[in-house]
Structure 1
Amino acid sequence: MALYLCLPLLAVLLQPVLCLYNCSSDYARTPDSSDLVVECGTSMINLEINLCTAQWAGFNATDLALNGNHNNIACQGSVNTSVNPPVIRYQLPVNDSQDNSCRQSLQIVDEKPDPNGPFSSFSVIQSVIIRGFIDSPSSELGLISYSTDLYYHFSCRYPLEYLMNNTQITASSVSVATSENNGSFIDTLTMSVFNDSNYNYPLVVPSTGLEMRTKVYVQVKAVNLTGNFYVLLDHCFGTPTPYNMSQSEQYNFFTGCTTASKTTVTSNGVSKVAQFNFEAFRFVQHRDQAKSSIYLHCILRLCEPSKCQQILGACSNQRRKRSLSPGVENSGSATISLGPLYTAAEATPNAANYSNSMTSGCDGHDITGLIVPLLSCWVLVAGLF
């Protein structure tokens, strides 16, 4: 009986494959863009194709492949009949390494930032655009053809600049993630604070707050991120209140090649981990408060290793173009924040191996270092000043 029902469909549409997966007559049509669903993940691009319309056009799942690799079974999709309509699913790694047998086009482009966005001061920002396609084998050679070929084109755009902002912490670390329909690397970034130079022991702030000049070790790390990019800190600063675009009171730990006297950048732009430290301080405006708060912020970028080295090398030459300079925001940037930390008001500072007097702000050792996504940390300094 089932075979009998399929015969009229075969006669009229010449597409008997619709019967194989119990496809509705709604899908007896030429495939279009609505039949392709793309999810731009941080490590994997997931794609789905409507199996019914593909089969109505005369193709099975094994006829379609990623980026023209029809002889590579790894580039073919898998059929999922648990959904309606059934789909063909594909996965494509977010990298262009030799290990990716279904390799796609990966391009890094320069773009103009949004003039009204947080990175409006940047002259150029960068994004990585991954393009690919799923197609059927070419039907015929020659000048013209009367058969239907299928070609599903897709692209994912990932900004390489991020502003991570105003996430409050009371323990040792924080991880901030922002979801964007276009795809984003932001959820691979974490910021943590430690009390030791080896970054082994998370910083625990006592209820009375940290002692003045206590060293605070900050680590920005990218996890589960494609190997194409390093973390480069560009500009880190502190504010007495959570970050906003109109913030006028801020203390710069470092900007580009310039580092404050009591701030030390120990690792930057050479791996997926960037590290720096500073001495706990207070904002003068908190002199009538038992605790002083500091929100730490860093603008950071993800850059190719060679590009990171190019930017870092500019510090040595002191010839940095604005579009490449650390300390200048790029579009696609994100902000991350840490805080509050509490600093106790004691007369004797607790900063080891430092004899310099403390000014109103957080200084640091000069060091050649560049920093890019924006991270923020709120530090509370205890005591009346």
Structure 2
Amino acid sequence: MTLYLCLPLLVVLIQPALCLYNCSSEYERIPDNSDMTVVCGATTITLEINLCTAQWSGFNTTDLALNGNHNTTECYGSIDTSVEPPIIHYQLPVNHSQNNPCRQSLQIVDEAPDPTGPFSSFSSIQSVIITGFIDTPRSDQGLISYSTDLYYHFSCRYPLEYLINNTQIVASSVSVATSDNNGTFIDTLKMSVFNDSDYGYPLVVPSTGLELRTRIYVEVKAVNLTGNFHVLLDHCFGTPTAYNMSRSEQHNFFAGCSVDQMTTVTSNGLSKVAWFNFEAFRFVQHRNQAMSSIYLHCILRLCEPSTCQELLSACNNRRKRSVSPFGEESSESATVSVGPLYTAEERPYAAAYSNDVASETEDLNVTGLVVGLVFGSAAATLLVLGGWFALKRFYWVGGLPHAFN
């Protein structure tokens, strides 16, 4: 009788706790790639694990922990039964600081750019790769086990080179359960224009456009950026229309070490904010328009402070300033643009000035003609009077009477 009572109890003890949550029989299997979802955010990496397959394998939520931290409650997941199937939810900060109890691996790598992408003029780009895992305690007791050790590996890859605008950033992972996802820092990047060197007053463009040679101050900054990265502007330029891949109609403010003479770079690569300023100009193709439009664009990279300093120091070590950017653009980059800004085209009235000169010249010519006529008439009168006196004197001397006899 005791044997019959123990057998059901034994079955309950060895059977995984499938009845704890509403899991269908289709999840009575070992985990695979589809059981994990990874979202690579700018500040937080979010992971979701299929609770049913983990439960079928004989584990509960307290057995699964981030990066092997099974004694740290902050590294456990939370259960969400509002979805089907239920999931274990994890959140991991992107930063690698000591304040992160579930620290992950963070690595900066150099990569070759895409030769067909917008960064084709660069020599290299960098990316930060963040890797981690969720696992269960290893089975180390007994001779055999009917439960499998679970190991979910994930990886998020963030490029550090950006051309601020449309971007696609690929995040990849290699693990027993693999998930490929996109992550981007583009939402943390911002470009603004100001009318003062303290960057306190946003630029207000009048309805008639900015006057030419007006000094425009540009700020590119990273807002709420996770990690110790600085903003380094590689290449900033202006175009008459919205950005496209054509480089035939663009004015370079600076590209790498080469800076336009009307542009001043006041801070670059030293913090999460970069500043430069330039004088307003107009595009010649707008010569028949009342105003000229300018769109601003910047290719930038996020780099570690030491890497930024190395790139900036290279400019000082070159005898001849390079016209190429610090690095290379890639297809996994973004574009930040501002515009359009409008500049007024003022036309000088040189023709009116030329007509005045012509009138003065004509007045001088008329005056000379009148003076010449007066002197000419006086000379003719004197000549006639002189001839008459000479003829009269000759007559009285006696020359004429003999001639008439």
TM-score > 0.5 by shorter chain: yes
Aligned to 1:186: 186
> By how many angstroms is 1:321 displaced?
12
Q: Is the 8 A contact 1:40 1:182 kept in 2?
A: yes
Q: Is the 8 A contact 2:257 2:321 kept in 1?
A: no
Which deviations, in whole Å up to 9, do the C-alpha atoms of 1:145-172 show, x marking residues without a partner? Answer: 664100000001111112224xxxxxxx
Q: Is the 8 A contact 2:255 2:325 kept in 1?
A: no
Aligned to 1:227: 227
| Distance across 1 between alignment mates of 2:74 and 2:320 | 45
Which deviations, in whole Å up to 9, do the C-alpha atoms of 1:184-232 show, x marking residues without a partner? Answer: 1111101111111111111111111111111111111111211221100
- Map 1:304-383 → 2, pairs under 5 A: 304-318=304-318, 326=326, 328-330=328-330, 332-346=332-346
AA of the residue aligned to 2:34? S
Aligned to 2:113: 113
Q: Is the 8 A contact 1:122 1:331 kept in 2?
A: no
| Distance across 1 between alignment mates of 2:143 and 2:11 | 30
- Map 1:8-19 → 2, pairs under 5 A: 11=11, 14-19=14-19
Q: Is the 8 A contact 1:161 1:331 kept in 2?
A: no
- After superposition, the Cα gap between the structure-2 partners of 1:44 and 1:319, relative to the gap in structure 1 and judged at 3 Å, is farther
Matched position secondary structure for 1:285: helix
| Distance across 1 between alignment mates of 2:168 and 2:325 | 25
| Distance across 2 between alignment mates of 1:60 and 1:21 | 11
RMSD: 2.8
| Distance across 1 between alignment mates of 2:148 and 2:319 | 56
Q: Is the 8 A contact 2:57 2:147 kept in 1?
A: no
| Distance across 2 between alignment mates of 1:130 and 1:321 | 36
- After superposition, the Cα gap between the structure-2 partners of 1:121 and 1:137, relative to the gap in structure 1 and judged at 3 Å, is same
| Distance across 1 between alignment mates of 2:280 and 2:321 | 33
Which region of structure 1 is more displaced relative to structure 2, 97-106 or 313-322? 313-322
AA of the residue aligned to 2:282? R
Does residue 294 of structure 1 match 2:281? no
AA of the residue aligned to 1:71? N
| Distance across 2 between alignment mates of 1:325 and 1:118 | 12
TM-score by length of 1: 0.79
AA of the residue aligned to 1:127? S
Matched position secondary structure for 2:343: strand
Matched position secondary structure for 1:226: coil
- After superposition, the Cα gap between the structure-2 partners of 1:59 and 1:193, relative to the gap in structure 1 and judged at 3 Å, is same
> By how many angstroms is 1:14 displaced?
4.4
Aligned to 1:277: 277
Aligned to 1:172: none
Q: Is the 8 A contact 1:128 1:159 kept in 2?
A: yes
| Distance across 1 between alignment mates of 2:114 and 2:186 | 18
Aligned to 1:213: 213
AA of the residue aligned to 1:254? F
Question: Higher helix proportion, which one?
Answer: 2
Aligned to 1:89: 89
Q: Is the 8 A contact 1:124 1:331 kept in 2?
A: no
Does residue 51 of structure 1 match 2:51? yes
Which deviations, in whole Å up to 9, do the C-alpha atoms of 1:290-342 show, x marking residues without a partner? Answer: 111222221110001110111111111128999x9526435532211111111
AA of the residue aligned to 1:229? F
AA of the residue aligned to 2:30? T
| Distance across 2 between alignment mates of 1:320 and 1:68 | 53
What runs of 5+ residues in structure 1 fail to find an aligned partner? 1-6, 166-175, 349-385
- Map 1:238-277 → 2, pairs under 5 A: 238-277=238-277
Aligned to 1:98: 98
- After superposition, the Cα gap between the structure-2 partners of 1:214 and 1:144, relative to the gap in structure 1 and judged at 3 Å, is farther
What runs of 5+ residues in structure 2 fail to find an aligned partner? 1-6, 171-180, 349-405
- Map 1:34-45 → 2, pairs under 5 A: 34-45=34-45
Which deviations, in whole Å up to 9, do the C-alpha atoms of 1:348-370 show, x marking residues without a partner? Answer: 9xxxxxxxxxxxxxxxxxxxxxx
- After superposition, the Cα gap between the structure-2 partners of 1:328 and 1:25, relative to the gap in structure 1 and judged at 3 Å, is closer
Matched position secondary structure for 1:271: coil
Greater radius of gyration (CA): 2
Q: Is the 8 A contact 2:122 2:326 kept in 1?
A: no
- Map 1:63-78 → 2, pairs under 5 A: 63-78=63-78
Q: Percent identity?
A: 75
Q: Is the 8 A contact 1:61 1:78 kept in 2?
A: yes
Matched position secondary structure for 2:314: helix
Higher relative contact order by CA 8 Å / sep ≥ 6: 1 or 2? 1
- After superposition, the Cα gap between the structure-2 partners of 1:321 and 1:51, relative to the gap in structure 1 and judged at 3 Å, is farther
> By how many angstroms is 1:104 displaced?
0.6
Question: Higher strand proportion, which one?
Answer: 1
Does residue 303 of structure 1 match 2:303? yes
